[in-house]
Amino acid sequence: MPELPEVETTVRGLERVLLGRRIERVEARRADLRRAFPQDLGQRLTGAKVSALGRRAKYGLIHTDRDDTMVFHLGMSGSWRIDHPSLEKHDHLLIETDEGRRLTLNDPRRFGSVDLVPTRELQDWPALKALGPEPFDVTARDLRDRLGGRSAAIKLLLGDQRIIAGLGNIYVCEALYRAGIHPKRPGGSISLERLDKLVLAIRSVLQEAIDAGGSTLRDFISPDGELGYFSKTFAVYDREGRSCACGGTVRRIVQGGRSTFYCPKCQH
C-alpha cells in the first residue's frame, strides 16, 4: 500500500515529466476508480500547462495554468508509470504531454481516486480541509494541544488524519519505536519532551524513506516505468518474533483492527 514516502517519490517523478509541459491528451479508460472520474476531466485538462506539482498527506497534486488542480490518491494499489511500452488491463487513466511522454495510472484494486478541484478552492475541498498538519510541519506543542486530554492509545491517535496528516500504519509503528514510546500509552499523557522526540522520529522515518525512494529515482524509471515503489527496511514493522537491536523481541498486538509492532524493552 502506498504510504506518504511513495506518494512523495511519485510526485517528484511525475514532476520531471510534467512540470511546464502541456497536456495533449487525456483518456479515462473506464468510468471510475473508487468514485467516478470527473466527466469533464479531458475537456479541462487537454491543452492545459502543468504549472506545479505538490503533495498534501497522501494526495498528489498536479496544478495547471487553468486554475484547476488534479488531485490523485493511490488508494491500496495505485501507481503511475512513465512511457510504459504497452497499455495494460489496469491502466485506467492515460495522459500524454506535448513532448510525447505517456503517463498511465495503474490501479488493480481501484481504491484510488482522481478529482479536479479549482486551485483556489483546494484548501476548502472537504477531503483536504479535514486534515491535520503535515508531519514535516507539526511541532511538539501542536501535537500536545491536539493530544491534550485524549485517553486513546497514541498509536491510534497518530493514525487519525485529523490530528496529523498522512501517517500510515508502518510509519506510526516505526516512529513510536524510534521515540521509545509504547503504542498503548494514552496520547494525552505524553510529556512535551517526549513529544519533541516523537516529532523528530516521525520526520526522520519519513525522510529516510523519501531519500530511499529518491535514490531509486536517480535512474528515474525502473524497467517497467513504475514510480514510487521501493524496498525499505524497518526496525519493528512486520518483524514479530524477531530480535530488536536491543536484544529484546519484537511483539505484535492488534489495535483498532490493525497490527502494531513494537519492542517492549525499548518502548515505555
Q: Which residues are catalytic?
A: 2-3, 58, 258
User: Rounded distance, CA 38 to CA 45, Å?
Assistant: 11
CA R_g for the chain: 20
Supply the minimum distance, in Å, between the C-beta of residue 262 and Zn ion: 9
Residue type present at position 26: V
Contacts of 213 (CB under 8 A, 6+ apart): 5, 6, 8, 9, 228, 230
Which stretch, 20-28, 106-114, 226-234, 238-246, contacts Zn ion (CB under 5 A)? 238-246
Q: Is 265 in the site for Zn ion (CB under 5 A)?
A: yes
Q: Which residues make beta-bridge pairs with 71?
A: 61, 115
For Zn ion, the closer of residues 59 and 262 by Cβ is 262
Q: Is 248 in the site for Zn ion (CB under 5 A)?
A: yes
DSSP 36: B
Supply the minimum distance, in Å, between the C-beta of residue 239 and Zn ion: 11
Alpha helices in 86-232 (DSSP H): 126-129, 140-147, 154-158, 169-179, 192-217
For Zn ion, the closer of residues 17 and 244 by Cβ is 244
Q: Which helix (H) or strand (E) holds 82?
A: strand 79-82
Out of 246, 254, 257, 268, the residue judged to bind Zn ion by CB under 5 A: 246
User: Rounded distance, CA 7 to CA 131, Å?
Assistant: 16
Phi, psi of 72 (to 5 degrees): -120, 150
Q: Quick one: which of 29, 17, 38, 13 has its CA closest to 98?
A: 17
Which stretch, 17-25, 109-117, 159-167, 258-266, contacts Zn ion (CB under 5 A)? 258-266
User: Going residue by residue from 190 to 229, which x/- string records binding to Zn ion, judged by CB under 5 A?
Assistant: ----------------------------------------
Residue type present at position 163: I
Q: Is 173 in the site for Zn ion (CB under 5 A)?
A: no
Which stretch, 29-37, 43-51, 73-81, 245-253, contacts Zn ion (CB under 5 A)? 245-253
Which stretch, 8-16, 93-101, 211-219, 247-255, contacts Zn ion (CB under 5 A)? 247-255
Out of 28, 84, 244, 262, the residue judged to bind Zn ion by CB under 5 A: 244
Q: Footprint of Zn ion on this chain (CB under 5 A)?
A: 244, 246, 248, 263, 265-266
